[in-house]
């Protein structure tokens, strides 16, 4: 697998061994275990998901609720293209960054990038081709092992949101929504105490569920721009946000004096 990661055009994993297990067998076991903790429920296939992106020990149980909505859907196998969009944490970028890579690698294998889908965005002024924001980024990568385990083969459209607007995110998602599952990668509040985080995240969850994208900012969610763009889409298309889980790192594996919030939603 290491040699494959060095092949031209393959974006190698940046956080294997830190945010999640680097050994393929262990990683698959971890994902299966997280998913097994979420009860099965019959449901229609989601058209979009919001899932957190911290280390699996912290946000994995909440992320599993988001991806269980895909696991439980009778039409899950039809999700052949997945748009994964989240914030650029490490490298500043004006607009929405798409990579030159032809595949993204995780310890579970390589996911091909849908270059044809990215070509459909090339004329949008807000879309820039830039590999630097993608190279160290965890926000998209940590969602891939869940998708690989559930879907098997699929094509990836990886998008990192930098200095952009909800309207620009909405415009990009509108170009891609046909025959796509959209996964918005975002955590919620950061580094509040447990009680304060609970209050803020509850207010953020309510805003998401009433499609109030204008109520969201960086204090509510690190991926607020991606979430806001999705909410604009959802309101226009009549999609309902179903809350699947809401918790924080104080509920999973961290102390309660400085926590990070996590939420999971399915849209359909």
- pTM value > 0.85: yes
What angle is formed at CA 41 by the lines to CA 35 and CA 44, rounded to 5 degrees? Answer: 105
Residue 6, pLDDT score: 54
Mean pLDDT score of the chain: 95
Helix axis angle, 24-36 to 56-71, nearest 10°? 70
Cβ atoms of 165 and 173 within 8 Å: the answer is: no
Model confidence pLDDT, tens digit, residues 212-262: 999 999 999 999 999 999 999 999 999 999 999 999 999 999 899 999 999
Q: Record the tokens describing residue 77, joined without a space.
A: 């196998």
Please give the Cα distance from 132 to 222 (Å, whole number). Answer: 19
Residue 77, pLDDT score: 53
Domain residue limits, the chain = 2-267
Torsion of CA 157, 42, 230, 115, to 10 degrees: 10
Strand partners, 184: 50, 85
Confidence at 78, pLDDT banded by 50, 70, 90: low
Please give the Cα distance from 51 to 171 (Å, whole number). Answer: 21
- pLDDT higher than 90, residue 42: no
What DSSP letter does each residue of 37-61 carry, written as one string? TSPP--BPPPSEEEE--S-HHHHHH
- pLDDT higher than 60, residue 5: no
Strand partners, 248: 261
Domain 2-267 coded CATH 2.30.30.40:
no
Model confidence pLDDT, tens digit, residues 118-137: 999 999 999 999 999 999 99
Sign of the CA dihedral with 45 first, then 138, 146, and 198 last: negative
């Amino acid at each position: 697998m290491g040699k494959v990661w060095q092949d031209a055009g393959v974006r190698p994993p940046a956080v294997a061994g830190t945010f999640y297990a680097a050994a393929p067998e262990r990683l698959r076991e971890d994902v299966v275990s997280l998913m097994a903790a979420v009860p099965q429920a019959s449901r229609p296939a989601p058209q979009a998901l919001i899932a957190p992106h911290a280390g699996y020990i912290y946000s994995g149980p909440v992320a599993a609720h988001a991806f269980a909505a895909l696991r439980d859907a009778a039409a899950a196998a039809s999700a052949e293209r997945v748009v994964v969009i989240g914030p650029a944490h490490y490298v500043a970028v004006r607009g929405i960054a798409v990579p030159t890579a032809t595949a993204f690698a995780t310890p579970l294998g390589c996911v091909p990038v849908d270059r044809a889908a990215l070509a459909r965005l090339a004329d949008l002024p807000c879309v820039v081709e830039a590999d630097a924001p993608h190279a160290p980024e965890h926000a998209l990568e940590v969602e891939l092992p869940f998708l690989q385990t559930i879907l098997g083969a699929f094509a990836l459209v990886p998008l990192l949101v930098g200095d952009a607007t909800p309207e620009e995110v909405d415009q990009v998602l509108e170009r891609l929504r046909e025959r796509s599952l959209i996964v918005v990668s975002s955590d919620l509040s950061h580094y509040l105490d447990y009680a304060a985080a609970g209050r803020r995240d509850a207010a953020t969850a309510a805003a998401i569920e009433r499609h109030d994208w204008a109520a969201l900012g960086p204090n509510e969610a690190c991926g607020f721009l991606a979430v806001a763009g999705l909410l604009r889409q959802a309101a226009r298309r009549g999609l309902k946000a179903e809350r699947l889980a809401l918790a924080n790192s104080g509920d999973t594996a961290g102390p309660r004096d400085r926590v990070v919030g996590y939420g999971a939603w399915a849209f359909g």
